[in-house]
Structure 1
Amino acid sequence: MGFTFKGLTSSALVSGSAASANADNKDIADVPASYQGHTSMDVARPDEKVGSPRESALSRESDEELNKVDTTAEIGVQQVQAASMIWKKRDLILAYIAMWFIQFFTAYASSTSSTLSPYVTSDFQKHSLTALTTVISSIVGGIWKLPYAKILNIWGRPFGLALGVAIYVVGLILMASCNNVKAYCAAQTFFYVGSNSIDFFITVFIADTSKLKNRALFISYASSPWLITTWIYGYGIRGITANGGIGWRWAFGIFAIIAPIVTSPLIILFVVYEGKARKQGLIAPRPSRGNFIQTLTYYLREFDAVGLLLLAAGLSLFLLAFNIYSYQAEQWKSPLIICFIVFGALLVVAFGLWEKWGAPVTFIPWPLLKNRTVIFTYTMAGSLYVGWYCWDSYFYSLLVVLFDQSEVHATWIANIYTMGSCFICIIYGIVLRYYGKLKVFSFFFGVPLTMLGVGLMIKFRQPDQNIGYIVMCMIFIAFGGGVLVTSEQTTLMAVSKQQDFPALLAVESMIISIGSAIGSTVAGAIWTGVFPARLAANLPAGALPDLASIYGSFKVQDSYPVGSPTRDAINLSYGQTQKYMLIAAVCVYCITLFSTACWQNVDVRTMKQRTIGLL
């Protein structure tokens, strides 16, 4: 979503030898040999027909066992468990403070980057491709989290964070130096892969170091920097885009310099404590994988590189077709568009066949997807983000053009969601400490309020409406979304073991990113299909020769005086196009409501976990 607690998802895969001992247990069956050493789904299955939550294996283990290093886990998991046994509470608090500063920086940089996107595309006379720039980056950024979860487990938390920061910086440098929309899309892919990695690490860190009943509260703590950045980054946008401002290239360059500085304290803290744990003999030596070729082959197999490429390429080609078809002379009949759709679909099918019969280690951790709450949390999260990007992709442009808001005011309004969701999730996190049933709040409050806000905007996103109604709708969506984003992450952690957090949450993040890409694709298809046609029908005859430039740049759209026939025609075209986007979003949110209804009514207060090294 425009604000997802920007990213925030979580941590680790392990061995499941005990799973095959219960072959008659249909929820766990036999874990395929390819998963041994990677996942554990040792889960008891009460009568699911009466909706009772499953009993995690954690609930059957003693506190003494839970507080030991799990020697069956991968090295990265053992490292963080060992470090948590020796770090002092003071240092853990310092780590959370360092985490807050990382979140503050990434919140500011992410908000600024997304707001600058229409300025970048407009500079290249391609404003209508604003939604397209997020499609590939969303797909790759989401799919990346599954191998990234394994990286955190195999090579450890500090290496994973450092890798994410490196990719993030590369993306910023490429964004600062791009010369066309193609280069900008490629740069954004690196940027969002790095950003998603940092976000994912933060959630893993919270899952590693917090008690389950406090986890929602700490997730909201990690999102609290948005309460500050929302109010200040609009001024930064004005300073960047104003005449004589530093420009978007320098903005991205400055972020590239700051990123490694602000993230280094947390990396150093992890390295220090893992070093201490290793000296005390709490961490087993890393097993040898052979020579370079053998090691490379091993990790390519473990990360399912073939599956990763098939899925990323297939989804990218298929979804890109819906964003760029209007730029082809023959549109849907264009050979390029037909090839994108056909080969994209074939690659997705090939991915499924590869996962079923060819992959030695499958890309998707299928044995973990046996729990109905897990499945419907995924459909809930995916549909939530499809709906969001259906109506949000051109929201900033709409505020500037249709409602004639300044850059600062437009960013404030666009980030009402951020403010409201941060506020409500803090309250929600506190409430869950005392009433831990997530489903009740999500089904009766979160989804209905979101649907109400988006539904009302069908009426209020029109030229004859007051901006105050948009603010009201955004408050509704913010309060509903804040509950849902917290619930979607906490629910998964409540029905799984710690070692499985990364795999489950990585799949969730992948689904969210694919949902975001689908939503952006729907928005882009509606925009490119409806907006130019509406402009052609609504513009006065004298402005028709400028149709291409008006369509191509929202800065050109905003340059016409308010109240002029051309500006009125542009505003009317905005309203007519946005109506279809909002209707599509409300329809998608029906899936969100149904999915939430299918959750088990888990209570986060009753889940058992280790007690050492947690806040």
Structure 2
Amino acid sequence: MLVVGFVLLLGFGIFEWLVAPVPMINFTFLSDRTVVGACLLDATYQVAYYCWANYFSSFLQVVNNLSISEAGYVGNASDVVSNLLLFLVGYSIRRTNHFKWLLYLAVPLYILAQGLMIYFRRPDQSVGYLVFTQVLISVGGSIFVIVFQVADLAAVDHQHVAAALSLLYVVGTVGDALGATISGGIWTNTFRGALVRKLPPSARGDLQAIYEGLDKQLSYAVGTKVRLAIQEAYGYAQTRMLAAGTEFMGLGIVWTLMMRDINVGEVAQVRGTVF
């Protein structure tokens, strides 16, 4: 199936390039530094986020002793704040007619927020600090969501808007999958080893069950030696996930510099009915 998928993907590219009378993808997009920069920044943002996000809920339950609903509130704090800030970001672009200046704020802020997470994503840290870093993350995320699309829309003509946005979505989805893969790889190679080192001898027989099951991890009372060992193992793994995401997000500075600072107020608008 993998071979068939690869052959079909390669065949699609060749067909679009050499055969199709009207290609679905305009390959000139790949030479436009704004489109390429927006796509790469989107992928980098997704990788940096999913390097740690998939294990955040279980971290909150095991390390911070939150219930499932409380962990959901903390995890969704960034989404709530981000959705509210989208209106402010859109209005800022509308007033200034430029979007690139927002990236000069968002990228360093996002790197700072993930860097702070490395310190606070450990046992014996207040949940308030975790919420604070989530809010910082949401500020950068709200800017990214808008700017990616605006940059694509400003860089291409009207007839290629759908294809450009599709390209942006595909590249972002690849970044999502890559980030989850990195996260799983770090978890596999750090969490179990940390459990081996930190679990008391009485719990070594349950090592595999603890490693594989959240319910088993939560079955140990808060404050016991086993629970404390599991919490320390979580902190060990999470800080390395966050370090990987923070380092990867540093590429966002390069992609931001690559993009043109287009005046969206001067972009020709299509008015009326378009056939």
CA deviation digits over 1:106-134, x for unaligned, max 9? xxxxxxxxxxxxxxxxxxxxxxxxxxxxx
CA deviation digits over 1:502-542, x for unaligned, max 9? 11111111111111111000000011111111111111111
Q: 1:372 to 1:479 in 2, by over 3 A?
A: same
Give the distance between the partners of 2:260 and 2:3, measured in 1 at CA.
Answer: 30
1:547 is displaced (CA, Å) by: 1.0
Q: Structure 1 counterpart of 2:134, which letter? A: M
Q: Which SS does the other structure have where 1:394 is aligned?
A: helix
Give the distance between the partners of 2:3 and 2:78, measured in 1 at CA.
Answer: 32
Partner of residue 355 from structure 1, selected from 13, 16, 21: 13
1:386 corresponds to: 47
Partner of residue 562 from structure 1, selected from 204, 211, 222: 222
1:556 is displaced (CA, Å) by: 1.4
- Residue 431 (structure 1) aligned with residue 89 (structure 2): no
Partner of residue 374 from structure 1, selected from 35, 45, 49: 35
Give the distance between the partners of 1:573 and 1:428, measured in 2 at CA.
Answer: 39
Give the distance between the partners of 1:390 and 1:374, measured in 2 at CA.
Answer: 24
Q: Structure 2 counterpart of 1:424, which letter? A: L
The answer (yes or no) to whether the contact 1:424–1:482 under 8 Å persists in 2 is yes
Give the distance between the partners of 1:519 and 1:547, measured in 2 at CA.
Answer: 27
1:440 corresponds to: 101
The number of aligned residues is 271
- Residue 508 (structure 1) aligned with residue 168 (structure 2): yes
Q: Which SS does the other structure have where 2:31 is aligned?
A: coil
Displaced runs of 4+ in structure 1, greater than 6 A? Answer: 309-312
Q: Which SS does the other structure have where 2:250 is aligned?
A: helix
Q: Which SS does the other structure have where 2:46 is aligned?
A: helix
Partner of residue 421 from structure 1, selected from 76, 82, 92: 82
Partner of residue 526 from structure 1, selected from 160, 174, 186: 186
Give the distance between the partners of 1:312 and 1:380, measured in 2 at CA.
Answer: 30
The answer (yes or no) to whether the contact 1:376–1:599 under 8 Å persists in 2 is yes
Q: Structure 1 counterpart of 2:42, which letter? A: A
The answer (yes or no) to whether the contact 2:57–2:72 under 8 Å persists in 1 is yes
CA deviation digits over 1:261-289, x for unaligned, max 9? xxxxxxxxxxxxxxxxxxxxxxxxxxxxx
Give the distance between the partners of 1:414 and 1:468, measured in 2 at CA.
Answer: 12
- Residue 590 (structure 1) aligned with residue 243 (structure 2): no
1:369 is displaced (CA, Å) by: 2.2
Return 5+ residue gaps in structure 2 as ranges.
none
1:13 corresponds to: none
1:318 corresponds to: none
Q: 1:373 to 1:355 in 2, by over 3 A?
A: same
Return 5+ residue gaps in structure 1 as ranges.
1-308, 315-346
The answer (yes or no) to whether the contact 1:355–1:363 under 8 Å persists in 2 is no
Partner of residue 548 from structure 1, selected from 205, 208, 217: 208
User: Please, which moves more after superposition, 420-429 or 350-359?
Assistant: 350-359
What are the within-5 Å matches in structure 2 for residues 16-55 of structure 1?
A: none
Q: Structure 2 counterpart of 1:578, which letter? A: Q
Give the distance between the partners of 2:121 and 2:201, measured in 1 at CA.
Answer: 26
The answer (yes or no) to whether the contact 1:388–1:585 under 8 Å persists in 2 is yes
1:573 corresponds to: 233
The answer (yes or no) to whether the contact 2:210–2:216 under 8 Å persists in 1 is yes
Partner of residue 497 from structure 1, selected from 157, 171, 184: 157
1:484 is displaced (CA, Å) by: 1.1
1:375 is displaced (CA, Å) by: 0.8
Q: Structure 2 counterpart of 1:377, which letter? A: A
- Amino-acid identity (%): 30
Higher CA-based Rg: 1
1:438 is displaced (CA, Å) by: 0.4
Give the distance between the partners of 1:366 and 1:312, measured in 2 at CA.
Answer: 24
Q: 1:590 to 1:603 in 2, by over 3 A?
A: same
CA deviation digits over 1:150-185, x for unaligned, max 9? xxxxxxxxxxxxxxxxxxxxxxxxxxxxxxxxxxxx
CA deviation digits over 1:459-483, x for unaligned, max 9? 1000021111111111111001101
The answer (yes or no) to whether the contact 1:417–1:477 under 8 Å persists in 2 is yes
1:579 is displaced (CA, Å) by: 1.1
User: Please, which moves more after superposition, 354-363 or 511-520?
Assistant: 354-363
Give the distance between the partners of 1:312 and 1:465, measured in 2 at CA.
Answer: 49
What are the within-5 Å matches in structure 2 for residues 144-155 of structure 1?
A: none
Give the distance between the partners of 2:70 and 2:162, measured in 1 at CA.
Answer: 38
Give the distance between the partners of 2:138 and 2:5, measured in 1 at CA.
Answer: 34
Q: 1:515 to 1:536 in 2, by over 3 A?
A: same
The answer (yes or no) to whether the contact 1:434–1:605 under 8 Å persists in 2 is no
- Residue 517 (structure 1) aligned with residue 177 (structure 2): yes
Q: Which SS does the other structure have where 1:608 is aligned?
A: coil
Q: Structure 1 counterpart of 2:44, which letter? A: S
1:613 is displaced (CA, Å) by: 6.5
Q: 1:363 to 1:581 in 2, by over 3 A?
A: farther
Give the distance between the partners of 1:568 and 1:430, measured in 2 at CA.
Answer: 47
The answer (yes or no) to whether the contact 2:85–2:139 under 8 Å persists in 1 is yes
Q: Structure 2 counterpart of 1:429, which letter? A: G
Give the distance between the partners of 1:547 and 1:518, measured in 2 at CA.
Answer: 28
Q: Structure 1 counterpart of 2:58, which letter? A: S
CA deviation digits over 1:429-462, x for unaligned, max 9? 112221121000112x111111111000111000
The answer (yes or no) to whether the contact 2:114–2:242 under 8 Å persists in 1 is yes
Q: Which SS does the other structure have where 2:97 is aligned?
A: coil
The answer (yes or no) to whether the contact 1:311–1:351 under 8 Å persists in 2 is no
Give the distance between the partners of 1:412 and 1:576, measured in 2 at CA.
Answer: 24
Give the distance between the partners of 2:197 and 2:62, measured in 1 at CA.
Answer: 18
Q: 1:312 to 1:594 in 2, by over 3 A?
A: farther
1:360 is displaced (CA, Å) by: 3.4
What are the within-5 Å matches in structure 2 for residues 292-311 of structure 1?
A: none
CA deviation digits over 1:276-327, x for unaligned, max 9? xxxxxxxxxxxxxxxxxxxxxxxxxxxxxxxxx869945xxxxxxxxxxxxx
Give the distance between the partners of 1:457 and 1:555, measured in 2 at CA.
Answer: 25
Q: Structure 2 counterpart of 1:408, which letter? A: S
Q: Which SS does the other structure have where 1:393 is aligned?
A: helix
Partner of residue 480 from structure 1, selected from 115, 127, 140: 140
2:71 corresponds to: 410
1:463 corresponds to: 123
